[in-house]
Amino acid sequence: MTIFKPVLLTAAFALGATAASAQEERFMTIGTGGQTGVYYVVGQSICRLVNRDTATTGIKCTAPSTGGSVANVNAIKAGDMTMGVAQSDIQYHAYNGSSPEFEGDKKFENLRAVFSVHPEPFTVVARKDANIATFDDLKGKRVNVGNPGSGQLATMEVVLGAKGWTMGDFALASQLKPAEQAAALGDNTVDAIIYTVGHPNGSIQEATSTVEANLVPVEGPEIDALVEENPYYAKAVIPSGMYAGSDADTNTFGVKATFVTSADVPEDMVYEVVKAVFDNFDRFKGLHPAFANLTPESMVGEGNSAPLHPGAEKYYREQGWIQ
Ligand code: GLU
């Protein structure tokens, strides 16, 4: 893969040079997540649609793999990324400065919502031989709690807080990346893994096919309270039969993936990105099974807590999706 990268880049620059005569070239980057997750596909799909119009818009889009939600929001705040994917709870906390990751000067008031994407159930997968049938059975076990910068690590901290636990309640709380955790489960270096992610996805498929494993429900009064008290959480179900070893629906709770940017990003750039997605909506939906149930109405209306970026608003108004 890496060997081919310089060649591809050179080709891309060469193409860009011809197009530049029509429009000034502008680069944008989208922060995604691990390569085995769905954010990576969201970013790659959006870029693919945006780059079809480079000749007329001048915009060239790339979507590298990153640490996930918190890393993306921080990179947008620092001006290192133009846009990114982030969980609805992370969008809320970043904009409001209401969680430890975004307290004080880490608060990001210029965060802007573009649209929401697929639902992301908080997903726990355990090795069958670890005998973990409920979330409470995780106590004293070896758990991969999510890499630094990921949404799952932040949401896991919230769940632990709600239950009155700490990371110290696990025999091991490892912070492997999504791309590494399925192998760790298979190698028996951990008993369970956590991932806030759209379904179906390659990472959970890998985890449940390399070793006998089960999905673990995340439910009970503490979870009910989290969902009741916070607009960015909802109950979620991972349907039976989606992964090997899961022959019943798995109840949990979850967030929505959202697409965000900064108020500092020009209106016409956000407009072009939104137009590329919604003018080609059927094509976009076909790029991942987790996008199957998306509708423009839900993407504009649900999961966002930061104000909409004016470039997105302009397109939605033209479509009659908002007033
Ligand atoms: N929800 C995860 C995060 O915020 C990423 C999931 C994915 O990559 O699809 O870090």
* Domain coordinates in residue numbering, the chain: 26-119+256-319, 120-255
Please report the pLDDT score of residue 22 as a whole number.
Answer: 56
> Of all protein residues, whose CA lies closest to atom 6 belonging to ligand 1?
197
pLDDT of 85 strictly over 80: yes
pLDDT average, residue stretch 110-129: 98
- Residue 286 CA to ligand 1 center (angstroms) comes to 20
- Residue 188 CA to ligand 1 center (angstroms) comes to 23
Q: Which residues contact 17 (CB under 8 A, 6 or more apart)?
A: none
What three-state secondary structure class fits 177?
Answer: coil
Please report the pLDDT score of residue 14 as a whole number.
Answer: 43
Ligand 1 pocket: which of 65, 87, 206 to mutate (most atoms within 8 A of CB): 87
pLDDT digits (tens, 9 = 90+) for 209-252: 999 999 999 999 999 999 999 999 999 999 999 999 888 999 99
- Which atom number of ligand 1 is nearest to the Cα of residue 120? 1
Please report the pLDDT score of residue 42 as a whole number.
Answer: 98
Closest CA to 232 of 123, 305, 146: 305
- Residue 65 CA to ligand 1 center (angstroms) comes to 11
Q: 26-119+256-319 has which fold?
A: D-Maltodextrin-Binding Protein; domain 2 (3.40.190)
Please report the pLDDT score of residue 15 as a whole number.
Answer: 46
pLDDT of 142 strictly over 60: yes
pLDDT of 172 strictly over 60: yes
| Mean pLDDT lowest among 12-21, 27-36, 93-102, 231-240 | 12-21
Taking the CA atoms of the chain, what radius of gyration do you get in angstroms?
20
What's the chain's average pLDDT? 93
What three-state secondary structure class fits 218?
Answer: coil
Burial of 114 (0-12, 13-18, 19+ CB in 10 A): buried
Please report the pLDDT score of residue 16 as a whole number.
Answer: 45
Question: Which one is predicted more confidently, 11 or 98?
Answer: 98
pLDDT band at 187 (very low <50, low <70, confident <90, very high): very high
The reported pTM is 0.92
Q: Is the CB of 37 under 6 A from ligand 1?
A: yes
- What does the angle CA 124 – CA 129 – CA 132 come to, to the nearest 5 degrees? 40
- Whether 26-119+256-319 shares its CATH topology with 120-255 is answered yes
Q: 120-255 has which fold?
A: D-Maltodextrin-Binding Protein; domain 2 (3.40.190)
